């Protein structure tokens, strides 16, 4: 009698272990694994893991985000509803709530910009209020910066809001208490919009210089930004000492770039005209 029972016991234990192995990480590890897979943009794995923890904020967040961004299983309506529930619930842990808000606000904003495709489907979400709330919930944070960035572009596009938007932009930089390395993309936007909408080269160059001094993350932007800085000082502001400084810096940093030959030509022109302002 003993042997068959032992065989049964071992078989069931083995089956149990096998089932356990199939189910992947144990419950407490599922949420971090889902978030990690999502961060790696492995939507298939992230979505699968999120389905195992549907009652947790992390599971709901990852499911909602996969619904929006996983183009192989996209369900925008469902994703936005999930994120809206998370965002409007005060009890949602703050990091989940904030990310739900930014993603909901941005996708609603993009859908409103493409009414030919989405019609009024996103009108139920007030993306401006959502972005404003994120900015208040997480001032000086990455999410706050992103929300402000998206709002700013929209407000600058509207002639009635433009002046106020430029004032708010300057106030944002002045009052910013967070990590300064978050600011270069906003400086880049400010540089572009000051030229596009006001041809205000002085302010545009100030923003470009501040962004460059902190450092753009994209090496291409860092290189282009440095050349632009020198160029704008030279051709638009007629500030020769600053143009000389930045063209020389460009040649030291990027001697192999295509624009190095142009920098040399401009330096010659600056030399011929004299370096005095």
Radius of gyration of the chain from its Cα atoms, rounded to whole angstroms:
27
Whole-number Å distance between alpha carbons of 210 and 159: 26
Among 4, 159, 219, 274, binds other proteins (CB under 8 A): 219
Beta carbon nearer to other proteins, 12 or 269:
269
Among 7, 39, 164, 275, binds other proteins (CB under 8 A): 39
Among 27, 113, 123, 213, binds other proteins (CB under 8 A): 113
Whole-number Å distance between alpha carbons of 260 and 196: 26
CA quadruple 133, 135, 141, 145: dihedral sign: positive
User: Does residue 130 touch other proteins according to CB under 8 A?
Assistant: no
Torsion angle in degrees (nearest 10) through CA of 32, 38, 43, 47 = 40
Site string for other proteins, 186-205 (x = CB under 8 A): --xx--x--xx--x------
Among 53, 86, 103, 134, binds other proteins (CB under 8 A): 103
Can you say how many angstroms the Cα of residue 129 is from the centroid of all Cα atoms in its chain? 19
Among 25, 218, 271, 273, binds other proteins (CB under 8 A): 218
User: Does residue 258 touch other proteins according to CB under 8 A?
Assistant: yes
The CB density around residue 182, as the number of other CB atoms within 10 Å, is: 17
Whole-number Å distance between alpha carbons of 196 and 199: 6
Among 53, 122, 226, 232, binds other proteins (CB under 8 A): 232
User: CB 233 → other proteins: shortest distance, Å?
Assistant: 11
User: Does residue 231 touch other proteins according to CB under 8 A?
Assistant: yes
HEC-encoded secondary structure of 64-79: HHHHHHCHHHCCHHHH
At 274 the three-state DSSP class reads: coil
Q: Which of 254, 233, 256, 237 is CA-nearest to residue 245?
A: 233
Residues 6+ apart with CB under 8 A from 150: 105, 106, 109, 131
User: Does residue 139 touch other proteins according to CB under 8 A?
Assistant: no
User: CB 164 → other proteins: shortest distance, Å?
Assistant: 20
Beta carbon nearer to other proteins, 19 or 181:
181
170: its two tokens: 């300057």
User: Does residue 86 touch other proteins according to CB under 8 A?
Assistant: no
- Binding residues (CB under 8 A) for other proteins: these are 32, 35-36, 38-41, 65, 68-69, 95, 99, 102-103, 106-107, 110, 113-114, 142-143, 145-146, 149, 153, 181-182, 184-185, 188-189, 192, 195-196, 199, 216-221, 223-224, 227-228, 231-232, 235, 254, 256-262, 264-265, 268
């Amino acid at each position: 009698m003993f042997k068959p029972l032992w065989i049964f016991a071992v078989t069931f234990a083995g089956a149990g272990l096998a089932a356990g192995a199939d189910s992947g990480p144990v419950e407490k590890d599922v949420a971090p694994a889902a978030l990690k897979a999502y961060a790696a943009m492995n939507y298939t794995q992230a979505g699968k893991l999120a389905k195992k923890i549907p009652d947790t904020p992390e599971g709901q967040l990852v499911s909602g985000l996969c619904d929006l961004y996983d183009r192989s299983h996209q369900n925008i309506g469902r994703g936005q509803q999930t994120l809206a529930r998370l965002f409007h619930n005060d009890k949602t842990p703050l990091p989940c709530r904030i990310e739900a808000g930014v993603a909901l606000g941005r996708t609603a904003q993009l859908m409103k910009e493409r009414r030919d495709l989405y019609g009024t489907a996103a009108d139920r979400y007030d993306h401006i209020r959502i972005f404003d709330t994120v900015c208040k919930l997480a001032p000086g944070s990455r999410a706050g910066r992103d929300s402000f960035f998206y709002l700013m572009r929209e407000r600058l596009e509207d002639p009635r809001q433009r002046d106020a938007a430029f004032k708010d932009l300057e106030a944002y930089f002045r009052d910013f208490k967070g990590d300064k390395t978050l600011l270069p993309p906003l400086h880049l936007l400010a540089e572009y919009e000051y030229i596009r909408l006001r041809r205000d080269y002085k302010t545009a160059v100030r923003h470009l210089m501040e962004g460059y001094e902190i450092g753009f993350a994209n090496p291409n932007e860092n290189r282009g930004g440095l050349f632009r800085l020198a160029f704008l000082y030279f051709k638009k502001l007629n500030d020769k000492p600053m143009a000389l400084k930045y063209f020389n810096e460009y040649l030291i940093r990027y001697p192999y770039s295509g624009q190095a030959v142009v920098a040399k030509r401009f330096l010659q022109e600056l030399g011929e005209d004299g370096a005095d302002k």
